Structure 1
């Protein structure tokens, strides 16, 4: 029983890796105009995102690797599918550019902080989670529009505006948090060096 439970502790990371591997096939299905299959896989990926987090927290299976893999898989999935939606003519290029720039700033900032100041344990903020949720809703809405054509324009436009606001707010929030932590660490290091004889 203990051995089986020990094996299961890797299940959250396995689900995260599976979600990461699903990104390109889903994007390819979008470009190929296979919206039903793309939407089915995208929803499955979204369910796996909630499931791996629940399992990790419920059974204490959180790992540092999982903390890094989970947001990476989310970003890869959203960015890949948004690339495909832009190429398909469904997503405005300026919104795709904003998504790509924001993710590049977050990943670059996280790596810079991790290697220059202190180990960084990935912990999405509330704004970050809301941004991901809004992006997932936008993707599902656009895919459903491709399938049925029933989605009203104001809903798509509204989600685009919400995503834009959240992308900007969460990006600024991440930069503010990390720069603040970096300043505190640098100040502490300077104070420590001044106290040394």
Structure 2
């Protein structure tokens, strides 16, 4: 089966991740911001193409969230290392993703795969994370003070991250509770 255009776009987004991280750690924030916006637009374009022209695939279903997570986690870590984002927020964002991926792996190991359906709060979480990262990159690149919008978005990222990981873990525990002892 040939690789679809949406999958190629998603792979391009994955390739952008180290370039964006390089731009951040090299203090090229205008470039980091522009590439981050480009990655966001590419995410919308590949999703539109996949749905509109029935180009969805199993590979795309795996690659798209991987690309999103790689991008956001990398940006948060890079900005956290530079002290531009509070480290506690970086730990919270990264820990959520580690917990979710770990739960999926444990489910597979117990031969009880869990179907991961994105919750509405997770979609809101992603929007808040993207908006906060974009605001931080833009403020660093173009030299403006983001107050109070940075605090508002940081609070939303915190709340949505905590709520989404809690809901996922509750659902996972419920799912795994159906395993019988041997």
TM-score of the alignment, normalized to the shorter chain, above 0.5: yes
Residue ranges of structure 1 left out of the alignment (5+ in a row):
1-5, 191-197
**Deviation digits for residues 119-146 of structure 1 (CA, Å, limit 9, x no counterpart):** 4554322111111111110011001111
User: Is the CA contact 2:30–2:142 (under 8 Å) kept in the aligned structure 1?
Assistant: no
Say if 2:50 is the partner of 1:56: yes
Residue ranges of structure 2 left out of the alignment (5+ in a row):
none
**1:88 pairs with 82, 87, 95, which one?**
82
* Helix, strand or coil at the partner of 1:171: helix
Matches within 5 A, 1:64-79: 64-79=58-73
For 2:174 and 2:60, the matched residues in 1 are separated by: 25
Say if 2:95 is the partner of 1:135: no
- Stretch moving more, 142-151 or 29-38: 142-151
Per the alignment, residue 118 of structure 2 pairs with 124
* Helix, strand or coil at the partner of 1:153: coil
**Deviation digits for residues 27-68 of structure 1 (CA, Å, limit 9, x no counterpart):** 110111111111111001011111212222222222222222
Say if 2:6 is the partner of 1:34: no
Q: In angstroms, what is the RMSD of aligned CA positions?
A: 2.0
Structure-2 change in CA distance of 1:178 and 1:59 (3 Å): farther
For 1:84 and 1:137, the matched residues in 2 are separated by: 16
TM-score, normalising length from structure 2?
A: 0.90
**2:139 pairs with 140, 145, 150, which one?**
145
* Helix, strand or coil at the partner of 2:176: helix
Aligned length in residues = 182
Q: Which has the higher helix share?
A: 1
User: Is the CA contact 1:23–1:80 (under 8 Å) kept in the aligned structure 2?
Assistant: yes
For 1:81 and 1:18, the matched residues in 2 are separated by: 16
For 1:53 and 1:114, the matched residues in 2 are separated by: 27
**2:7 pairs with 9, 13, 30, which one?**
13
TM-score, normalising length from structure 1?
A: 0.84
